[in-house]
Amino acid sequence: MPMTIASRNGYMYSYKNKLYLTWTNKPITVSAKSIIHYFTIDDKLRYISFFADFGPFNIAQVIKFCNLLNSKFKSDELKNKKFVLVSGPDNDRRANSAFLMCAYMLLAFNLTPEEAYRPIADIAYTFEPYRDAGYGPATYFITIKHCLQGLYKAIKTGLLDIESLDIEEYEYYEKVEHGDLNWITKKFIAFASPKERPTTHNMYPYDNQGNMGNLLQSDINTVSQQWFRNSNDVKMGNNKLLYPANTVDGIVKYFKENGVTSVVRLNNKLYDNRKFLEAGINHYEFYFPDGTIPPDNILFKFFDLCETNPGSIAIHCKAGLGRTGTLIGAYLMKTYKFLAAEVIAFLRLMRPGCVVGPQQNYLQR
């Protein structure tokens, strides 16, 4: 069980006097005899922002961080060291580092969300909550604790199997040029609308470097850099052939090979659905306007499809985020008793940017 010793100067005692978190923009000098091993992920894991959103990190990044820490715990060279995760002092890096540390506690030591969160509970008010990916003012927020609760519930209900998640496949198909799709659960794929001629999204890396340059010394980065180059802990690829699915033909092929039997379109038509139908994949039109909440008749049609469709269902709107995430989230709330903040957090772990603007408040109601 983790003990709880937190202070306002940035340090967090987490597990058996071994694991700490701190933030600074000042250089850290470490002697060769130091019992402390500093490391950072600020230059390795980056959240891709849509607008003013800054996290949480996606599930592949969470697993990468867990594997990195596991490699440190197993290292003979570091076995007598205390580990300190260092982040920049800006709000996004602090919150994302704290979330990763708590997620590691939850996953590695089989803790409950409350147990994993307890070490930072006294300083939780200092972490900026996560907002949606919309362009309007934020009206709904999720916290680090919500992310832990969503992750925990997904695992306990069998919706998420960390051991079988293929990081290489996840990171390949989340890219716009490869399909812009994510498996939310074994039942649901969320994806952006294919087009007759695929285009790329206007997205950019959210990379507020701050003043961390002087901090990233060799004694801090050696192990983390080596791990990110040569990770053997993560199952990569599972001998599956990965190919672009950013055209209708590519999507049809991918769906046929992965047990998708139905596609639900929520937006205006940007492609001809005949290729899906000719391939034996059902195609449903459940249109409602971009940025809005689903009418009751659409919601109930979707629920009925989920409960009668024998295979997996792929759902898309224009970007595969707002309307798509809202319908999937509503079904998970109904079926698995997620709370709104929990399901929104889980959706964003699996597909960043899901559920936007008033759709968040709709799920809350």
Q: Residue 106 pLDDT > 90, yes or no? A: yes
Mean pLDDT over 6-29 rounds to: 72
Q: Which CATH number fits domain 162-196+243-364: 3.40.50.300, 3.90.190.10, 3.40.640.10, 3.10.310.30?
A: 3.90.190.10
Give the residue ranges of DSSP H helices in 80-178.
91-108, 113-117, 144-156, 167-173
Residue 2 near residue 15, CB atoms below 8 Å = yes
Q: How would you list the strands of the sheet with 82-87, edge to edge?
A: 19-23, 82-87, 36-39
Token pair recorded at residue 305: 């499809």
Look at domain 13-128 and name its CATH class: alpha beta
Confidence of residue 214 (pLDDT cuts 50, 70, 90): very low
Q: Residue 107 pLDDT > 70, yes or no? A: yes
The least confident of 17-26, 280-289, 331-340 is 17-26
Please give the radius of gyration of the chain, using alpha carbons only, rounded to the nearest integer.
Answer: 21
Report which residue type is found at 278.
E
Q: Say if 13-128 and 162-196+243-364 have the same CATH topology.
A: yes
Q: Residue 216 pLDDT > 70, yes or no? A: no
Closest CA to 85 of 127, 30, 145, 23: 23
Give the span between the Cα atoms of 71 and 47, in whole angstroms: 23
* pLDDT for 198: 53
CA distances from 276 to 57, 192, 194, 282, 345 (A): 33, 16, 12, 7, 31
The catalytic residues are 317
pLDDT in tens, 246-282: 999 999 999 999 999 999 999 999 999 999 999 999 9
* pLDDT for 213: 35
* pLDDT for 239: 67
Q: Residue 5 pLDDT > 60, yes or no? A: no
Give the span between the Cα atoms of 342 and 37, in whole angstroms: 34
Mean pLDDT over 284-309 rounds to: 98
Confidence of residue 228 (pLDDT cuts 50, 70, 90): very low
Token pair recorded at residue 170: 């996840």
| Residue 307: partners with Cβ closer than 8 Å, 6 or more residues away | none
Whole-model pTM: value is: 0.87
* pLDDT for 12: 56
Report the percentage of the chain scoring pLDDT > 90. Answer: 77
Q: What are the residue ranges spanned by the domains of the chain?
A: 13-128, 162-196+243-364
DSSP 284-299: EE----TTSPPPHHHH
Confidence of residue 244 (pLDDT cuts 50, 70, 90): very high
Give the span between the Cα atoms of 228 and 223, in whole angstroms: 9
* pLDDT for 11: 56
Give the span between the Cα atoms of 349 and 341, in whole angstroms: 12
Average pLDDT, the chain: 87
* pLDDT for 295: 98
Q: Give the DSSP H or E segment for 39.
A: strand 36-39
pLDDT in tens, 137-165: 999 999 999 999 999 999 999 999 999 99
| Residue 331: partners with Cβ closer than 8 Å, 6 or more residues away | 302, 303, 306
